[in-house]
Amino acid sequence: MTNCANRKSLAMMLPMALAFAMGIAALAQDKPAAPQLLATQALPHFKFENFTTANGLPDNHVFTVLVDGERIWAGTENGLAVYEDHVWKTYTTKDGLAHRAVLSLALDKRSGDVWAGTMAGLSRVSGGRIDTYTQLNSGLSNDVVYGVSVEGEHVWVATAAGACMLNTRTGQWTLYNERNTPMVEIWVYGVSATPSKVYFAVWGSGLLELDQKTGRWDKYEDPDGENEIVLFKDQGLIHEIVTSVNYVDKIVWAATYFGDSRYDGRYWHNFLTKDSGLPSNFTNTLKAVDANRCWFGTDKGLAYYDGVNWAVYRNSLKDGKPEMTVRDAAGKITSIAVSSAPAHNYILGIDFQGSDLWVATAKGLSHGIHQP
Amino acid sequence: MSQRLRTQCGLTCCLLAVALMTAALWNGRPVQADAVDDENYASPLEVLVSPDGARLYVLCQQSEEVRVLDATTTKTIAKVDVGRVPRGIALSTDGRRLFVTNSWDDTLSVIDTNKLAVTATWPVAAEPTGVVEDKAGKRLYVANRISNDIAVLNAETGEEEKRLLAGRGASYLTLSPDGSRIYATHIYPNPPRVRSELDNRIAPESEITVIDTARAVVVDHMPLHRIAGVFHLAFSTDGRLGAVAEYHPKNTVPLAHLEHDGAFGYSLTLFGADVGKTPVEVPLDELERYASRPFGVVITPDKSRIYVSCGGSEVVLAIDVQRLLRYVSLHPGSNIRDLAASANYMVARIPVGHEPRGLAVSRDGSKVYVANRLEDSIGVIDTHTDRVASTITLDGPKKISALRRGELTFYTSRQSFQGQIGCASCHIDSTFDGLAWDLEPDGFGRDIVDNRLIEDIKGTEPFKWNGGNPSIPVECGVRTEKYFWRAENYDDLTLTDLTLYIRSLPPRPNRWRLQGREMTLAQERGKAIFERSMDKFGNPIAEKNRCSYCHSGPKGTSQKSFDVGTRKATDNTGLLDTPQLTNIALTAPYLHDGSAHTLEEIWTVYNPEDKHGRTNDLTKDELNDLIEYLRTR
């Protein structure tokens, strides 16, 4: 896929048939692991156990969740909570946390340190000690930290005024903004970093890609501009307002408020409510399992895509009762009786704990216990 | 200062030194001698006993070698050259290898204890200090004083696996007896976690960093409140008692009142099952004499005694463990201000050589070895009598050079009231302490001043933040004697020697501007900002408002005073001496009173009117570039 306006125009003129064929080919490579199973059997079932202030969470508004082995970290509007041995402990600004509202979390798997992006700075939690970086005391580009991602010794940060990277060995901060990248808007919502590539989800400026080896930037935008229409399916990024990005197995998954996208380096595949099992185009977050499978957190429930089939876990929009619906490859929707659902349909964060799931919602944190 | 560095400049300057010193004596007053003389001192810093007890391994910092001694005959078996300014030494679990950190080379020497030769030299991080191998012999941990972290290396290949966050000035590492934990200390206080309204009146906070060796991750940072300067840590063999040597500076009360409650306390923090869940700080000082600058700690195998070396007091303290634990049990909580407390557990104050540092206990617990750094000897303490039974000389020069005399003066505390402090109490290892102090007798809370680095200080006079002292002899002589020591004055020769030593301190290698390496693009951009004469709007910047005007010259100081708008209501003047920029990245906090916790804060918080240089036209990335450049100075 091209990365500039002229090349995009050319791409738009490519024969649809070719694009369609390529799209089919790409999908064909992404077959689910067990196609012989019925969709209702292949998709995971969960029993949701919900946490709120009633059972120890410092606030019901949970922005983000992070699994760290047996520990669960929850970024809430009123502190950073950690769940260990069935007990919640909360870190606040009195402990050195940059701000009470914790918007994003990332784990340095090597050191075990947790990085927390807040409304007023970036905090590093190491063995219970909290060090905080702000735009006043450090090279951090802005105090509103929407996203954070750890890659080796580098901590990548998405802020309300561009992105930046802290080299934890040298202490050097490198800023990325409209002056040195193709970023038009500098409201960066998410970042996903790997040793080869770093992706930035930018509000109103699409998806940015930094090739770490060459230092080259690529920009992926909605071919339809800022129009809320899709002229041609799978032509490019679904929308300019990108809220979340995940780069897994050389596949980019991008969430926007107007649908979601998957990009394999050549082909785009977009997901909309009208042609997928996505419960809403308004997607706050996504978390990819691998190249083919991904979880989506929307304003109308939690969704899972296994490469072919979809499942939605939520409280029914009609009667509020827990529901699980499955949409198979043919578009057939089946309702499955369940006894629990995530704490709220407004999903803000997702992480995996083995085959279990943890979900941050607007009204509580949910533990999805995988059911055999 | 390393032997090689001294050799380089000493040969060319020794005649000049003699001439200057002669002139000083002739005039009957101290001078600022420029030269250093050169003697091949060993300066033993640490000592280890081999697993079979047959050998002593002595880390000699100035001669940059490991001396291997026969523990029975005390004869030298071998001398193994290592890198520049070695600082840490440890044996591998199997005793076959000896690891030495070379703090100025950023390397680790691996010595084969059979061949007694260096078999590998591994690159490590900035200013490596403490080193320890895990019990399985798989991982090696190295504390890096400048990068404030602990590198985890593959013990076979030296390949770095990762780095763990430690305290500021990470330095000494100890493996717990069961091998499950490594405890790390650090010599500079951690940056404040939470800002207060009195940014420069903060009591220091330090920590013991605890590492889980199974996962090689940090699992705890045990807080040490009001502590700055934490050194060796020891465990009892049963693992139930840990003890760490530390300074307890009282930097929030005027230092001028040395005789009233003191400027420093020196203490041990005890932790572990023997003392309960909460660590306990116990004083080492006595009513009439202090235990200045504790450094090394060992606990005898039978857990009857703790021995602590005190560099400033030139003694090794012997503490009765049972009496200590009984005292702790009867007096819960910390009792640092109770100078009568130590009488309950201190059983001997053993005079040893000059600047005693590292300690090691023999396998049977009958002897404690102490490295007398400025005496080139190893003292052997009989633990039954708590006396020095013998002294092993390391065949250092018989002559005590002027430079050595100056160093002795710098590191001793005998000059001050009740032997409480010495130069090295605040200038740890001839650097700084990361604290702001209320120094002068000008009223409580007035003229709070940040402690500055003294490396490469020659040519940066005047001294004091108000520029009031024209020379080192004035700064370190009359002023120090009158306000700090509250005791005997230096004689002229002593002051001359001290001046010579301080002026000889070289800058440590700058880790952001490695020798022979080009500046990075960010550093180049920052340099242009530092040197610019026009702001971003095309307006000329007044000469006195350019970075490069006040911070001119090779050391980054015009040696003049300016008002940069940082005067506080408690300051007697806003006219401040321009500090040098030597290794400025290392010396937080900043500004004359330590208000700025980071370099960034100098401009983001304390320069609202552009009086400290024109900077408010800069974007955040440009300010970052400026800081990247400053870190190369």
| pLDDT one-digit tens code per residue, A19-67 | 333 333 343 344 444 445 677 788 999 999 999 999 999 999 999 999 9
Confidence at B255, pLDDT banded by 50, 70, 90: confident
Confidence at B197, pLDDT banded by 50, 70, 90: low
pLDDT confidence of residue B38:
64
- Residue span of the structural domain in which A214 resides: 5-26+52-298
Query: Using an 8 Å Cβ cutoff, are B377 and B391 in contact?
Result: yes
Write the burial class of residue B322 (CB in 10 Å: 0-12 exposed, 13-18 middle, 19+ buried).
exposed
- Would the CB atoms of B624 and A95 count as touching at under 8 Å? no
3-state secondary structure of B418: helix
Looking at chain B from residue 138 to 167, which residues have their Cβ under 8 Å from any Cβ of chain A? 147, 161-165
Summarize pLDDT for B96-140 with one digit per residue, the tens: 999 999 999 999 999 999 999 999 999 999 999 999 999 999 999
A contact test, residue of B182, B598, B629, B632 with most A CBs within 10 A? B598
B contact test, residue of A144, A173, A174 with most B CBs within 10 A? A173
**Nearest Cα to B363, choosing from B21, B62, B52, B9?**
B52
pLDDT confidence of residue A226:
64
Summarize pLDDT for B218-229 with one digit per residue, the tens: 999 999 999 999
Measured between alpha carbons, how far is residue A296 from residues A73, A261, B269 in Å? 19, 11, 51
Asked whether residue A367 is domain-assigned, the answer is no
| Tokens representing residue B342 in the block | 């130590």
B197 interfaces chain A, CB cutoff of 8 Å: no
* Domain CATH code at residue B623: 1.10.760.10
B217 interfaces chain A, CB cutoff of 8 Å: yes
Reply yes or no on whether the pLDDT at B441 is more than 60: yes
Helices and strands (DSSP H and E) totals, chain B: 11, 32
- Residue span of the structural domain in which B543 resides: 521-630
CA A333 to chain centre: 25
Asked whether residue B610 is domain-assigned, the answer is yes
Count up the domains in chain B and report the number.
Answer: 1
Reply yes or no on whether the pLDDT at B30 is more than 50: no
Element (H, E) at A368: strand A364-371
**Nearest Cα to B352, choosing from B326, B371, B336, B324?**
B371
Q: How far is A35 from chain B (nearest CA, A)?
A: 39
Write the burial class of residue B72 (CB in 10 Å: 0-12 exposed, 13-18 middle, 19+ buried).
exposed
Which of B217, B221, B620 is the closest to A129 by Cβ? B221
Contacts of B512 in chain A (CB under 8 A): 170
pLDDT confidence of residue B195:
64
Q: How far is A82 from chain B (nearest CA, A)?
A: 14
- Would the CB atoms of A179 and B619 count as touching at under 8 Å? yes
Asked whether residue B567 is domain-assigned, the answer is yes
Measured between alpha carbons, how far is residue B379 from residues A5, B43, B314 in Å? 78, 13, 12
Asked whether residue A303 is domain-assigned, the answer is no
pLDDT confidence of residue B32:
41
Q: What percentage of chain A exceeds 90 in pLDDT?
A: 83
Asked whether residue A78 is domain-assigned, the answer is yes
Asked whether residue B388 is domain-assigned, the answer is no
| Tokens representing residue B349 in the block | 């104050």
Mean pLDDT of A251-260: 96
The average confidence (pLDDT) of chain B is: 90
User: What's the DSSP call for residue B482?
Assistant: I
**Nearest Cα to B207, choosing from B167, B176, B165?**
B167
Contacts of A132 in chain B (CB under 8 A): 193
Which of B585, B600, B624 is the closest to A175 by Cβ? B624
B458 interfaces chain A, CB cutoff of 8 Å: no
Contacts of A95 in chain B (CB under 8 A): 193
Asked whether residue A202 is domain-assigned, the answer is yes
Calculate the CA dihedral of residues B156, B161, B167, B169 and round it to 10 degrees: 60
Measured between alpha carbons, how far is residue A53 from residues A361, B46, B312 in Å? 13, 54, 55
- Would the CB atoms of A129 and B620 count as touching at under 8 Å? no
| Tokens representing residue A139 in the block | 């090279």
Contacts of A136 in chain B (CB under 8 A): 600-601, 604-605
Q: How far is B600 from chain A (nearest CA, A)?
A: 5
Residue with token string 């763990």: B164
Measured between alpha carbons, how far is residue B515 from residues A73, A94, B125 in Å? 44, 43, 16
Reply yes or no on whether the pLDDT at B235 is more than 70: yes
Contacts of A130 in chain B (CB under 8 A): 193
Asked whether residue B587 is domain-assigned, the answer is yes
Measured between alpha carbons, how far is residue A71 from residues A147, A351, B394, B628 in Å? 20, 12, 54, 37
Q: How far is B20 from chain A (nearest CA, A)?
A: 43
Predicted TM-score of the model (pTM) = 0.89
Cα-atom radius of gyration of chain A, to the nearest Å? 20
Q: What is the ipTM of this complex?
A: 0.88
Residue with token string 């020069």: B397
Please calculate the CA angle B90-B93-B99 and round it to the nearest 5 degrees.
Answer: 30
Query: Using an 8 Å Cβ cutoff, are A171 and A157 in contact?
Result: no
Asked whether residue A339 is domain-assigned, the answer is no
Which residues on adjacent β-strands are paired with residue A349? Answer: A360
Measured between alpha carbons, how far is residue B78 from residues A284, B66, B394, B497 in Å? 68, 8, 12, 33
Asked whether residue B481 is domain-assigned, the answer is no
3-state secondary structure of A233: coil
* Domain CATH code at residue A90: 2.130.10.10
- CA-based end-to-end distance of chain B: 20
Query: Using an 8 Å Cβ cutoff, are A36 and A315 in contact?
Result: no
d(CA B397, CA B1): 17
Asked whether residue B48 is domain-assigned, the answer is no
- Would the CB atoms of B162 and A131 count as touching at under 8 Å? no
CA B545 to chain centre: 35
Count up the domains in chain A and report the number.
Answer: 1
Q: How far is A155 from chain B (nearest CA, A)?
A: 14
Summarize pLDDT for A91-127 with one digit per residue, the tens: 999 999 999 999 999 999 999 999 999 999 999 999 9
Contacts of A173 in chain B (CB under 8 A): 624
Q: What is the 3-state secondary structure (H, E, C) of B359-392?
A: EEECCCCCEEEEEEHHHCEEEEEECCCCEEEEEE
pLDDT confidence of residue B256:
66
Mean pLDDT of A56-79: 97
